[in-house]
């Protein structure tokens, strides 16, 4: 292969934040790694395809030459291991090649065109779908991450294999997380548990999901993981005899009934145990007191016959049976679930499924690309995944920006489900807590937009009612109806939320234009001018500078708070150069303030005013503000780090000050570092409440098992009120440190 490479730096940033430094690893180790990969691939791929995989390794090794990970190993080992994970799932050769090359576009001098030339357009599209957006600058890291996820999810909409590569990439990064510093490990683990494990669950890839959850749990809560794993290990010995006895009893009953199948005791992963203990307030012994079994048979008919067999052996617990064969889960999972009262009253959980259902339960949508008699086959998981992807595409079209889109997606990643019916008997799967409005949008966007009432089981019910499995839902529509902003208070699906917001924006455009005209008129009046005196040349210049297509669009931007009328007028009628220089110096952060009358936060000509959530300014704080597109005037505490991003845009800065009398509460964040003792949270919360202070939110972070950090979001009237609260907190004996949080 004749490819000229520009030497890459020996230390660069990994996609997930993994650092790379320099050290050496022998070439023979990598050769053994690619030999093992090809041996796995050879068991189900053609010889020519295996040859292309080996050629991709050579291409990738050249591209990553000189790059190392924080563990010290050459970087090429990472894509090799990602490819190995996917080969063990028996995915097609294009996915294996794309896994080997998944970082070459982002982290080396290789271009997408070079990948396409060597391995085809399909592989190049897969690699590009996994790559980050490296050529676009974003104002915040959150926005950059959100746009990256949006790009990746949209690439998944074109080819769902993109997400399988990303999941395998994240899995190997989680396996090698120990090379990073503790803070970075926790950050990546939190992202894994919040985003990647739920996506793996949504696609039905449970083999990856369970390992991601356990690795994320171990990295995020190492002490809890260690204690729980030790308890499980101790309990396993005591449980073995009970498990063996129940397994033999079920096996004998199935044999007596002439049924063939494989019976195995199963264990929940540690993270599932931890979540069950945390969510239901159970002790470890209460969770481990449940014995779980899986029975795998050949056909769906046998599943139901085995169900009857085990029900005749042990009594079923009422209301604890679920038929996921007739009604599969949203990710395509199929199985019969039942809970039995076993010997001596021991609870027994039993799952009954076919071999094909078991394969889908482990591989999910990945099973679509598995080779069966030389051909790939479809399954329920791939069908469900395509339906989810279609919903993603619709949300993408209606979402305002990347952050809003990711917010909608995350809502859909945690779907404890309810199953409801249309009057015609069609089944719809919805997240727990879904309402008739969510159901209406699930049926069709137009049904949701024109919904005016609903019947649940033939009786009228509120649109905010929470649905339960088995109900029949009938939506009443009217062509003149429009969505209500109040619906956003109770809908739970991302599709409903995105469509409601999009419709509300359309309805309010006329109102925004009217408000913008009034605000511009007021700003012109301050300069002793009127709307009828607008200079056409000056207006054209302003529209060009602001990249706004028309005068009416400008009025709409002003009405929405995306442009400030006084600043538009300033652009339209510029002052002399000396005055401009003086004004820019006055607006520069940290510059001395003039006696010019500043804007007040309240009553600023109807403009939208937002207090920065990064620093939570409160009355009495020295403050500054700037004009933000889409948010209006954003007020920050003087010295807030987020203001540094706008130092080069003095025309956006404004003088602001608090009104003399404000009868309102303002949120502020404080961090209370205390010794980890029983009842300390209640003590701190009670102390805060005694100062007539409302607690909006509290977050608990264990630092080392001895000290706990309690981060409270509380409402105060101003700096004096906050000082009173903090003075009382300092009297708590177990307090080690107290501070007002900064961004």
Catalytic center residues: 106-107
Pairing of strands 707-716, 666-675: antiparallel
Tokens 């309810």 sit at which residue? 418
Characterize 99-135 residue by residue with b for buried, 16 or more Cβ atoms within 10 angstroms of its Cβ, and e for exposed: bbbbbbbbbbebeeebbbebbeebbbbbbbbbbbeee
Cβ atoms < 10 Å from Cβ of 437: 28
The closest alpha carbon to 212, from 253, 270, 162, 258, belongs to 270
**716 within 8 A of 722, measured Cβ to Cβ:** yes
Measured between alpha carbons, how far is 294 from 133 in angstroms, rounded to an integer? 44
Measured between alpha carbons, how far is 696 from 673 in angstroms, rounded to an integer? 19
**100 within 8 A of 60, measured Cβ to Cβ:** yes
Identify the burial level of 592 via C-beta atoms within 10 angstroms of its C-beta, where 0-12 means exposed, 13-18 middle and 19 or more buried. exposed
Query: Crossing angle, helix 121-130 and helix 141-158, to 10 degrees?
Result: 150
Contacts of 45 (CB under 8 A, 6+ apart): 53, 92, 93, 371
Task: Compute CA 738 distance to the chain's CA centroid, rounded to the nearest angstrom.
Answer: 31
- For 490-528, the DSSP string reads T---HHHHHHHHHHHHHHHHHHHHHHHHHHHHHHHHHTT
Measured between alpha carbons, how far is 182 from 220 in angstroms, rounded to an integer? 9
**702 within 8 A of 664, measured Cβ to Cβ:** no
């Amino acid at each position: 292969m004749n490819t000229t490479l520009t030497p890459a730096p020996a230390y660069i940033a990994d996609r997930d934040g993994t650092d790379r430094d320099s050290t050496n690893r022998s070439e023979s180790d990598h050769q053994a790694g690619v030999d093992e990969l090809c041996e796995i691939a050879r068991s189900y791929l053609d010889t020519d395809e295996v040859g292309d995989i080996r050629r991709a390794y050579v291409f990738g090794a050249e591209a990553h030459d000189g790059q190392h990970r924080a563990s010290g190993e050459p970087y090429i080992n990472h894509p090799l291991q990602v490819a190995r994970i996917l080969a063990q799932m028996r995915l097609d050769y294009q996915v294996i090649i794309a896994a080997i090359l998944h970082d070459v576009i982002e982290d080396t001098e290789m271009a997408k065109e070079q990948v396409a030339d060597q391995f085809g357009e399909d592989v190049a599209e897969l690699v590009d779908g996994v790559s980050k957006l490296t050529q676009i600058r974003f104002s915040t890291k959150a926005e950059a991450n959100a746009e990256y996820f949006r790009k990746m999810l949209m690439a998944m909409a074109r080819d769902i294999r993109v997400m399988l590569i990303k999941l395998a990439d994240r899995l190997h990064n989680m396996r090698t997380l120990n090379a990073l510093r503790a803070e970075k490990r926790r950050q990546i683990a939190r992202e894994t548990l919040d985003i990647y494990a739920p996506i793996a669950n949504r696609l039905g890839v449970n083999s990856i999901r369970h390992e991601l959850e356990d690795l994320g749990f171990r990295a995020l809560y190492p002490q809890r993981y260690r204690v729980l794993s030790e308890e499980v290990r101790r309990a396993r010995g005591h449980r073995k005899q009970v498990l063996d006895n129940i397994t033999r009893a079920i096996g004998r009953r199935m044999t007596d009934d002439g049924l063939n199948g494989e019976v195995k005791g199963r264990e929940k992963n540690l993270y599932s145990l931890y979540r069950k203990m945390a969510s239901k307030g159970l002790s470890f012994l209460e969770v481990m007191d449940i014995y779980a079994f899986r029975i795998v048979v050949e056909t769906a008919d046998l599943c139901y016959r085995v169900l009857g067999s085990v029900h005749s052996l042990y009594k079923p617990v009422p209301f604890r049976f679920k038929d996921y064969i007739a009604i599969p889960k949203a990710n395509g999972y199929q199985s019969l679930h039942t809970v039995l009262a076993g010997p001596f009253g021991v609870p027994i959980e039993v799952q009954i499924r076919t071999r094909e259902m078991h394969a889908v339960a482990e591989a999910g949508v990945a099973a679509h690309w598995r080779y069966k008699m030389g051909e790939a086959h479809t399954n329920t998981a791939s069908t469900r995944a395509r339906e989810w992807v279609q919903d993603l595409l619709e949300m993408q079209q209606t979402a305002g920006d990347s952050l809003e889109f990711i917010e909608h997606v995350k809502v859909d990643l945690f779907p404890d489900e309810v199953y409801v019916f249309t009057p015609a008997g069609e089944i719809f799967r919805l997240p727990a807590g879904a309402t008739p409005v969510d159901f209406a949008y699930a049926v069709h966007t137009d049904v949701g937009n024109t919904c005016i009432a609903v019947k649940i089981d033939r009786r009228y019910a509120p649109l905010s009612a929470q649905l339960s499995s088995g109900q029949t839902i009938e939506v009443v529509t009217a062509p003149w109806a429009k969505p209500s902003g109040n619906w956003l208070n109770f809908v739970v699906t991302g599709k409903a939320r995105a469509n409601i917001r999009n419709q509300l924006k359309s309805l309010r455009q006329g109102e925004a234009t009217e408000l913008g005209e009034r605000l511009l008129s007021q700003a012109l009046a301050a300069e002793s001018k009127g709307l009828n005196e607008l200079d056409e040349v000056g207006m054209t210049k302003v529209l060009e500078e602001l990249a706004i297509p028309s005068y009416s669009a400008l009025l709409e931007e002003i009405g929405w708070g995306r442009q400030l009328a006084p600043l538009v007028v300033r652009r339209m009628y510029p002052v002399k150069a000396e005055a401009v220089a003086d004004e820019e110096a006055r607006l520069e952060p940290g510059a001395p303030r003039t006696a010019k009358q500043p804007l007040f936060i309240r009553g600023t000509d109807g403009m939208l005013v937002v207090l920065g959530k990064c620093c939570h300014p409160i009355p009495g704080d020295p403050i500054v503000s700037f004009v933000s597109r889409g948010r209006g005037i954003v007020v920050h505490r003087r010295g807030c780090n987020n203001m540094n991003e706008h130092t080069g845009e003095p025309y956006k800065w404004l003088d602001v000050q608090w009104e003399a009398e404000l009868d309102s509460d303002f949120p502020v964040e404080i961090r209370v570092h205390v010794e980890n003792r029983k009842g300390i949270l209640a003590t701190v919360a009670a102390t805060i409440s005694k100062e007539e202070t409302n607690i909006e939110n509290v977050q608990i972070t264990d630092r080392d098992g001895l000290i706990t950090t309690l981060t409270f979001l509380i409402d105060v009237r101003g700096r004096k009120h906050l000082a009173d609260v903090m003075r009382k907190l300092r009297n708590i004996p177990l307090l080690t440190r107290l501070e007002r949080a900064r961004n």
